[in-house]
């Protein structure tokens, strides 16, 4: 609500000006002189002040000076019946928005106040943008100089603009090479990255997981995993690209050290079920068939999707990942399909969606079971016709993209509850990969532990030999409801607290150390009421408010599906009320 303060010592004019502005829907306060105006300003904020210059006691210029000295965020319109150059000059110097001469008509006053409100709004937006930009720059600078990943920025001609310390060590370069082209700085082994950079600059699309190896630094042969991303200037013009590099040399050596060929494209396992999955991925990778990856959280669904992409003919093209459960419906739609300028509030420029960015490559739709019915329908069309429209546009865009979906939910049950389209399910379920939970492939646990020990020794610069026999027995008997991710978190925590040659039981988290199969059996034998049934209106409202009415976040916090949450909100007649 726009708030206006009118300062005028003539009662008739004060009342008239007030009525003019109230007719425009503004909230109006009045003061007959300087002192009363200052009291108002000390108590509340105003968007616009309309003040006469000639007041009893201090003048309107004094009031303007008060606003200027205290840096109040308000626009000041000056009115006078006796204009003179000196007063006008002083008013402009102190930042007055407009200077009007009496008599002032209602039309003129409304126009000037409307312009002042618009100017204030633009100024606030600009100030907010500048503050965010400065904060982002500071954060980016801190990250740039502290991360272990190599970062290089180049212009549209591949001339190096910035390079952080990690990248200098990986590539054997330094800041004295800034301004030179990567064409002359690095040998032909880096050519796949140069090609990716040119494609990223040409199409403003990221390309991920490019593997290159070469002896660029004094440390010898290095294996790097590289991604390229568009570099956008403040004016929203694409000016070059960013190279992100990760040194995986030691991990590659680790893969070779593990005996028996138990690693397949970053997936570790020797159990019969995992060998079947390795073989299935190898056979399916060369096709363009849609794949549905099912399994509990933490079982490695994203690794399977990455393996399918990198083993395929699309491996040099983008591999784009989208977490469908992490975004609200409107944001997810824009992320997937893009939007045109003006499609909705905040759409200040055209945006390329993930499907368009993945053209020629692969897109992973993670947690596909959480998308809304409307997005399910749009996705069905993409699967059927390989085309879509950006949000706010009617021009179809054709794409050549392989679709991989993953879920930790039973989609057939969701179909039975009318929460997931059956026709979409069959379109996704062309080839199904079922990942077993870790508790059903316990033979792989020692391999995974060995793999993680070697990796964390590198990360934390330690020389821990592994787990003691007692610790390994605990780890083997724990059910790992969070699967590989939980095991990885457990091992990371143990490496942080362990300063001994081996990891002992007391280095493990208490919930793993104190696990009892008997207690777990009792809990399973007496299940609690379903979350949905015991979800009260008050609790639901509390969670929605804590998540700022982000339905995706609220659903995850409550442990229910997003569509289920929508139904519950509808039954309770809950809808966010936006402040005016």
CATH number at residue 56: 3.40.50.2300
Let me know whether 403 and 466 are in one domain.
Answer: no
The per-residue pLDDT for 180 is 93
DSSP-based three-state secondary structure for 74: coil
- Rounded to 5 degrees, what are φ and ψ at 247? -85, 110
Final residue before a domain boundary, out of 247, 280, 311: 247
Let me know whether 167 and 238 are in one domain.
Answer: yes
The per-residue pLDDT for 140 is 67
Final residue before a domain boundary, out of 394, 429, 464: 429
Final residue before a domain boundary, out of 499, 522, 545: 522
DSSP for 54-79 reads S-SSS-HHHHHHHHHHTT-S-EEEEE
Question: Could you tell me if residue 241 is inside a domain?
Answer: yes
Let me know whether 159 and 16 are in one domain.
Answer: no
- Which tokens go with 87? 């007063």
Burial of 273 from C-beta contacts in 10 A (0-12 / 13-18 / 19+): middle
The per-residue pLDDT for 577 is 59
Let me know whether 403 and 552 are in one domain.
Answer: no
Q: How far is 20 from 109, CA to CA, in rounded Å? A: 8
Contact between 492 and 460 (Cβ < 8 Å)? no
Let me know whether 178 and 107 are in one domain.
Answer: no
Q: Which residue has the tokens 């091992």?
A: 491
Let me know whether 536 and 485 are in one domain.
Answer: no
- Residues 6 or more apart in contact with residue 375 via CB below 8 angstroms: 329, 332, 333, 336
Let me know whether 276 and 415 are in one domain.
Answer: yes
**Length in residues, the chain:** 580
Question: Could you tell me if residue 450 is inside a domain?
Answer: yes
Question: Could you tell me if residue 260 is inside a domain?
Answer: no
Question: Could you tell me if residue 324 is inside a domain?
Answer: yes
| Strands (E) located in 502-573 | 502-503
Sequential pLDDT tens for the chain (580 residues): 889 999 998 899 989 999 999 998 999 999 989 999 999 999 999 999 999 888 877 888 889 889 988 888 899 998 887 766 566 667 777 778 888 888 889 999 999 999 999 998 998 888 888 888 788 777 766 766 667 788 999 999 999 999 998 899 899 999 899 999 998 898 888 999 999 999 999 888 899 888 898 888 777 888 899 999 998 765 556 678 999 998 877 666 545 544 455 777 888 888 889 989 988 998 898 899 999 999 999 999 999 999 999 989 899 999 999 999 888 888 899 999 999 988 888 788 888 999 999 999 999 999 999 899 999 999 999 999 999 999 988 899 999 999 999 999 989 888 988 989 999 999 999 999 999 999 999 999 999 999 999 999 999 999 898 999 899 999 999 999 899 999 999 999 999 999 998 999 999 998 898 887 765 554 444 444 445 445 677 788 888 888 878 777 787 777 676 667 777 787 778 876 554 3
Domain range enclosing 542: 528-580
Kindly report whether the global pTM for this prediction surpasses the value 0.75: no
Burial of 176 from C-beta contacts in 10 A (0-12 / 13-18 / 19+): exposed
Q: How far is 552 from 333, CA to CA, in rounded Å? A: 13
Domain count, the chain: 5
Q: How far is 448 from 167, CA to CA, in rounded Å? A: 30
Question: Could you tell me if residue 26 is inside a domain?
Answer: yes
Handedness of CA 241, 247, 251, 255 (dihedral sign): positive
Contact between 509 and 482 (Cβ < 8 Å)? no
Q: How far is 228 from 194, CA to CA, in rounded Å? A: 9
DSSP-based three-state secondary structure for 294: strand
Let me know whether 325 and 443 are in one domain.
Answer: no
Let me know whether 532 and 518 are in one domain.
Answer: no
Let me know whether 240 and 181 are in one domain.
Answer: yes
Rounded to 5°, the CA angle 341-362-305 comes to: 130
Question: Could you tell me if residue 141 is inside a domain?
Answer: no
- Closest listed residue to residue 226, CA positions, set 181, 200, 196: 196
- Which tokens go with 309? 């992409």
Question: Could you tell me if residue 140 is inside a domain?
Answer: no
| DSSP 8-state assignment for residue 262 | -
CATH at 395: 3.40.50.300
DSSP-based three-state secondary structure for 220: strand
Q: How far is 376 from 379, CA to CA, in rounded Å? A: 5
- Rounded to 5 degrees, what are φ and ψ at 220? 95, -165
Q: How far is 462 from 454, CA to CA, in rounded Å? A: 9
Let me know whether 212 and 69 are in one domain.
Answer: no
Question: Could you tell me if residue 263 is inside a domain?
Answer: no
Extract long-range pairs of 483-486: CB within 8 Å, 24+ residues apart: 483/296, 483/297, 483/298, 483/299, 483/300, 483/437, 483/438, 484/298, 484/299, 484/300, 484/438, 484/448, 485/297, 485/298, 486/298
CATH at 196: 3.30.450.20
Let me know whether 288 and 409 are in one domain.
Answer: yes
């Amino acid at each position: 609500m726009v708030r206006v303060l009118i300062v005028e010592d003539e009662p008739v004019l004060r009342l008239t000006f007030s009525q003019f502005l109230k007719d425009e829907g503004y909230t109006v306060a009045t003061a007959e002189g300087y002192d009363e105006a200052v009291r108002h300003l000390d108590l509340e904020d105003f968007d616009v002040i309309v003040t006469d210059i000639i007041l009893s006691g201090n003048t309107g210029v004094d009031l303007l000076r008060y606003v200027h000295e205290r840096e109040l965020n308000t626009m000041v319109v000056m009115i006078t019946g006796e204009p003179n150059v000196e007063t006008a000059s002083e008013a402009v110097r102190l930042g007055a928005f407009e200077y009007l001469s009496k008599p002032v008509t209602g039309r003129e006053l409304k126009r000037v106040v409307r312009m002042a409100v618009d100017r204030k709004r633009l100024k606030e937006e600009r100030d907010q943008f500048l503050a965010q930009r400065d904060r982002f720059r500071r954060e980016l600078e801190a990250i740039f100089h502290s991360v272990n990943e190599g970062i290089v920025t180049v212009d549209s001609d591949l001339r190096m603009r910035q390079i952080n310390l990690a990248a200098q060590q990986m590539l054997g370069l330094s800041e004295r090479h800034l301004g030179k082209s990567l064409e002359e700085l690095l040998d032909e082994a880096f050519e796949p990255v140069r090609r990716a950079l040119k494609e990223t600059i040409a199409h403003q699309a990221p390309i991920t997981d490019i593997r290159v190896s070469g002896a660029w630094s004094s440390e010898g042969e290095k294996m790097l995993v590289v991604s390229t991303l568009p570099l956008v200037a403040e004016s929203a013009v694409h000016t070059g690209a960013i190279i992100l590099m990760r040194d995986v040399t030691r991990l590659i050596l680790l893969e070779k050290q593990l005996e028996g060929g138990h690693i397949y494209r970053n997936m570790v396992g020797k159990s019969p079920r995992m060998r079947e999955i390795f073989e299935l991925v190898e056979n399916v990778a060369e096709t363009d068939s849609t794949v549905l990856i099912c399994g509990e959280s933490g079982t490695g669904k994203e690794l399977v999707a990455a393996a399918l992409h990198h083993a395929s003919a699309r491996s040099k093209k983008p591999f784009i990942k989208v977490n469908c459960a992490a975004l609200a419906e409107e944001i997810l739609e824009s992320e997937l399909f893009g939007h045109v300028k003006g499609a909705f509030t905040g759409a200040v420029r055209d945006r390329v969606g993930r499907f368009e960015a993945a053209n020629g490559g692969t897109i992973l739709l993670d947690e596909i079971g959480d998308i809304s019915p409307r997005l399910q329908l749009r996705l069905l069309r993409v699967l059927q016709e390989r085309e879509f429209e950006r949000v706010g546009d009617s021009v179809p865009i054709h794409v050549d993209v392989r679709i991989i979906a993953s879920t930790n939910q039973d989609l057939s049950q969701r179909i039975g509850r009318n929460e997931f389209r059956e026709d979409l399910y069959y379109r996704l379920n062309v080839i199904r990969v079922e990942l077993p939970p870790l508790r059903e492939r316990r033979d792989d646990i020692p391999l995974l532990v060995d793999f993680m020990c070697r990796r964390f020794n590198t990360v934390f610069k330690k020389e821990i030999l592994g787990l003691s026999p007692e610790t390994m027995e605990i780890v083997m008997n724990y059910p790992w409801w969070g699967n590989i991710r939980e095991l990885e978190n457990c091992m990371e925590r143990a490496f942080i607290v362990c300063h001994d040659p081996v990891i002992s039981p007391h280095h493990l988290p208490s919930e793993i150390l104190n696990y009892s199969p008997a207690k777990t059996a009792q809990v399973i034998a007496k299940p609690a009421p379903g979350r949905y049934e015991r979800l009260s209106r008050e609790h639901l409202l509390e969670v929605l408010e804590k998540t700022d009415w982000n339905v995706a976040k609220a659903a995850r916090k409550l442990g229910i599906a997003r569509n289920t949450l929508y139904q519950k909100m509808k039954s309770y007649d809950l809808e966010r009320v936006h402040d005016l």
